[in-house]
Amino acid sequence: MRLRFGEFLLDTESRQLFKEGAEVHLQPKTFELLELLVRTRPKALNKRHIRGQLWPDTVVGEASLTVAVAELRAALGDDAKEPRFVRTVYGFGYAFAGEAEGEPLKAELAPRAGVAPRVFWEKRIIPLVEGENVLGRDEGVTVRIDAPGVSRRHACIRVEGERATIEDLGSKNGTFVGEGESAIIDPTPLPDDARFRLGRVLLVFRSSPESGSTRTEHRG
């Protein structure tokens, strides 16, 4: 999804923020905070919920969130006293205060003809997009795997044309490719029909063109 607010463009698939065409570099947690607030706008989120989303498997103090909010405001040129985008809800949490409009993905972001990257989990078939596809239990990820042992943001499959790689996102139970018994550490290639696991949850990656009338699941 690409969302425009003010002079900014947020691309959640490539995990990039642009200001008038120039990329604004954000720390991973700062980007995730922005994505969370924009996705749930105009709802105000309490601090405990935000910390649980940003640090799902770690207990952190309130200072970590305060720092992330300050970094986000600095990147957006936002003023805490007169916010355009990040509003403080005193005694509660934070909310996105601006207006955001969705934009269609550019044609070059679509997978190449003849390539249909997708993930199989149990009876579900979940299509992937060009760029980053986050897998996990969180409702906002590309591939939602709501199963025991899977972290909220467990792993990421990056699709670049006919090539795909997978990397672990600091999950609690690890990501495994093929028959390997050791969790992957670095981005690892995913060939067509590769088996991989998020913890103990088995999935299959396929990139060959679909055939027949198999039903696919579309993300909402």
Asked if residue 41 lies in contact with residue 65, where contact means CB atoms within 8 angstroms, the answer is: no
Task: Let me know whether 177 and 145 are in one domain.
Answer: yes
Q: Do residues 91 and 150 share a domain?
A: no
Q: For position 210, what pLDDT does the model report? A: 56
Query: End of a domain among 53, 73, 103?
Result: 103
Residue 172, token pair as written in the block: 């609690």
Residue 80 lies in a domain: yes
**76 & 123 share domain:** no
Whether residue 121 is contained in a domain is answered as yes
pLDDT, position 57: 76
Nearest CA to 53 out of 94, 88, 108, 3 is that of 94
Same structural domain, 90 and 120: no
How much is the pLDDT for 110?
45
CATH number of domain containing 79: 1.10.10.10
Residues 36 and 67 in one domain: yes
Of 144, 191, 149, the residue nearest 166 (C-alpha): 191
CB 166 within 8 A of CB 177: yes
Residue 181: the pLDDT is 81
Same domain? 10 vs 87: yes
Q: Are residues 127 and 89 both part of a single domain?
A: no
Specify if 212 maps to a domain. Answer: no
Query: Do 44 and 86 belong together in one domain?
Result: yes
* Tens-level pLDDT at each residue, the chain (220 residues): 688 898 999 988 788 899 887 888 888 899 999 999 998 998 999 999 999 988 887 777 888 999 999 999 999 999 989 999 999 999 999 999 988 887 655 444 444 445 679 999 988 889 898 888 999 998 778 899 999 999 999 999 999 888 899 999 999 999 999 987 899 999 999 999 999 999 999 999 998 875 543 444 444 4
The model's pLDDT over 82-141, given as tens digits with 9 standing for 90+, comes to 999 999 999 999 999 988 887 655 444 444 445 679 999 988 889 898 888 999 998 778
d(CA 13, CA 205): 19
* Residue 84: inside a domain: yes
- Out of 103, 136, 157, a domain closes at 103
**Residue 179 is part of a domain; what is its CATH number?**
2.60.200.20
Q: Which domain holds residue 40?
A: 2-103
Q: Evaluate whether 57 touches 51 at the Cβ level (below 8 Å).
A: no
pLDDT at 69: 95
Domain boundary among 54, 73, 103: 103
Is 144 a member of any domain? yes
Q: Are 56 and 140 found together in one domain?
A: no
In a domain, residue 191? The reply is yes
Beta bridge partners of 194: 205
Q: Does residue 120 sit in the same domain as residue 35?
A: no
Q: Is residue 220 part of a domain?
A: no
Confirm whether 15 is domain-assigned: yes
Please count the structural domains in the chain.
2
